[in-house]
Every structure is written in C-alpha cells, then in structure tokens.
Structure 1
Amino acid sequence: MRTGHDDYQSEAEDAAPVDMLAALFEARGWPHEVVSADEISAEIQGSWTSYQVRAIWRAEDNVLQLLCLPDIRVSDDKRRAAHELLALVNEQLWLGHFDVWSQGGMVVYRHGLLLGDEGLLGLGQAQGLIETAVDECDRFYPAFQFVLWGDKSAQDALASAMVDAAGEA
C-alpha cells in the first residue's frame, strides 16, 4: 500500500534538477529563488554561519554544479596562506573541493554532479548534495577563520579545526 508520502517520493525522483532542489528547499523552509530554468539559489543556515547556495544545471552536459559560499573573503595579504590551507583541506574531501575565486577573493565549495542520460535528480541525491556541501563548509569554516583572522599557519589551522570538530557533540 502506498501512502501520499510515497507518491511524493516517486514523483520527486523524476524531477528536473532545479525543480527538485526548489521542492527540497521549500520542504526545509530555506529561503530560495529560482533564478531561471537552469539556476536556483538559496540561503541555508549552517553551524557557524549562513551559506549562499547556488545550483546551475548544464543540460548539454547533464551536469549540476553546486556552489556553496560561506561568506569568507581572502585579502591579498592572506592569499598565500589561504591557498596552502585549500590544498590541505581538499586532501580531506571525497566529494567536491574548495576554491578561492580570483574575482573578489571569495572562498567557495564546488561540486559537480553528473546525472544520467535523463538529466533527472532524485530526492536522495538532492539531499546528499546539499548536506555534503553544508557539512564540508561547517567542518572547515573554523580553519579558514584561524588562518584569516587568527594568523595561524595552514597546518595549525587545519589541526585546530579538526580537533574542535572532533570535540563537538
């Protein structure tokens, strides 16, 4: 016997990527805006700060690119330390990676999800994509703060952030 929830799940698994993300954001109560048929943005509260999340669908490649911006700007004098930290942080990731945009010096988490030939995003995929982005931004946010505001070395900042994260309950 199928319930209404099961019907939603079944229908949701057949959605276009932007539509699926819009439904997920709506269900979670996250403010969002469908920018176009191929782009959506949302604001999601993490453990440390709120994140601007942007998803862009490239139908010609069947790729959904997710950007998660933790509102961290890297000043010119901290760029070398930030890039050193990025290299160490990216070694810890299985999915996605962190970058510093050359225009504006913003730290960004990026992940490209290759979808099947149908170009459809399932509910589980959508949840996993968003949760992974927010979790990784939360996990490494303190390390960026330690480098940019605490004048720690990249190695010390990462070690401190990992100890803090391990101590959280």
Structure 2
Amino acid sequence: MEIPASDAAPVEMLTALFEARGWTCEAQSPGEMSGEVQGSWTRYQLRAILREEDRVLQFLCLPDVRVPEDRRDAAIELLAMVNEQMWLGHFDIWSQGDVLVYRHGLLLGDDGLLSLAQAQSMVETAIDECDRFYPAFQFVLWGGKDAKEALDAAMVDALGEA
C-alpha cells in the first residue's frame, strides 16, 4: 500500500505508514487497526481505534509490561509522576490484565481525515514516550525502587545516551 498523497481515512493512513516502514500491521475494520514495532527496550503493540461520531482517534501503545498486584501502588505513584512530564498522551494501567498502556486521543477535523504528518507525529510520540519511561517502570516493578528514585534514575540514563 502506498502512503496517500493527501489526508485519508485514519486507519488507511496508519496502515499505509506502517507498511511503508516495514512494520507488521492489520486493519480489523475501517475504524480499527493494530500493529507491532520494536522499540529501544521491547516490542510495542500499537492500536488505533476511530470513534467516528466524535471524530476522535484513540491511539494506544502497549509495552509488554504487566503490573503485579504487590507493586501496583508504586506503579500508580510512578504513573502520576510520569504523566506530569508529558505534553501529549498519558500512561495508565489497563484494568483488564493489569497492563501498562500509553493512550493518546487525537481530535480530527470536520472531515474526519488524518494527515501523514499527524500520523507520523502520533506514532513517533507514542513510541518515544514508551521508550523514555520504560526503564522507570522496570525499576519500580522489578528493581524494587520507589517511584521518585526510579524516575530520577531513568531520566539520568536518558540524558546520558548519545
């Protein structure tokens, strides 16, 4: 599939973008698609769901991170601190399966179409934010650190990369 030259239906645009980048993807319906991409730390499941009546495209990025019950409070504290650092989207713990998820809702114009620039920005932001904060969640969930300590350590590591 070739990337549309102008704005297109959101799932059509995202599917074309994924295919152009060589990423696995599948359109489940005209209003929903999913795919996978390798991030810096792990593989991410990506999903887009269009709510046509409101012209809202919800984009989800799921790093393969499950939140164990005994670390849930620490993870929720870290979520609050991480979300303060973000301009677009937010992290949440999905109640179905206690899975970490990045969510972003994009308001589309009156025509309900998505531009290539919007699609690229939405996808890249999701992956970048998951890559940026993945270490902090690992420090809390598996390293036993408290939320502030984990976020500080992750941010130092991120600043030190070249």
Whether 1:136 aligns to 2:136 is: no
2:110 to 109, 117, 136: 117
Contact in 2 for aligned 1:13/1:120 (Cα 8 Å): no
User: What residue is the counterpart of 1:167 in the other structure?
Assistant: 160
Q: Would you say how many aligned residue pairs link Structure 1 and Structure 2?
A: 161
Unpaired stretches in structure 1, ≥5 consecutive residues: 1-7
Q: List aligned pairs for 1:23-62, cutoff 5 A.
A: 23-62=16-55
Which residue of 144, 147, 152 corresponds with 1:154? Answer: 147
Counterpart among 45, 65, 72 of residue 72 in structure 1: 65
C-alpha displacement at 1:67, in angstroms?
Answer: 0.5
Deviation per residue, 1:32-67 (Å, 9 max, x gap): 011111100000110001100000011100000000
How much has 1:26 moved relative to structure 2? 0.5
Cα distance per residue 1:109-135 (max 9 Å; x no partner): 000000000000000000000000000
Distance 2:13 2:95 in 1: 31
Which has the greater radius of gyration?
Answer: 1
Can you list the C-alpha shifts for 1:64-119, whole angstroms capped at 9, x where unaligned? 00000001000110000000000000000000000001121000000000000000
**C-alpha distance in 2, partners of 1:64/1:30?**
20
- The partner residue of 2:10 within 7, 11, 17 is 17
Distance 2:32 2:121 in 1: 18
What's the TM-score, normalizing by structure 2?
A: 0.97
Of residues 71, 82, 100, the one that matches 2:93 is 100
- Give the Cα separation in 2 of the matches to 1:129 and 1:165: 21
Q: Is the 8 A contact 1:81 1:154 kept in 2?
A: yes
TM-score, length of structure 1 as denominator length: 0.93
Please tell me whether the aligned partners of residues 12 and 122 of structure 1 are also in contact (alpha carbons under 8 angstroms): no
**RMSD (Å), alpha carbons:** 1.0
The reply to whether residue 81 of structure 1 matches residue 74 of structure 2 is yes
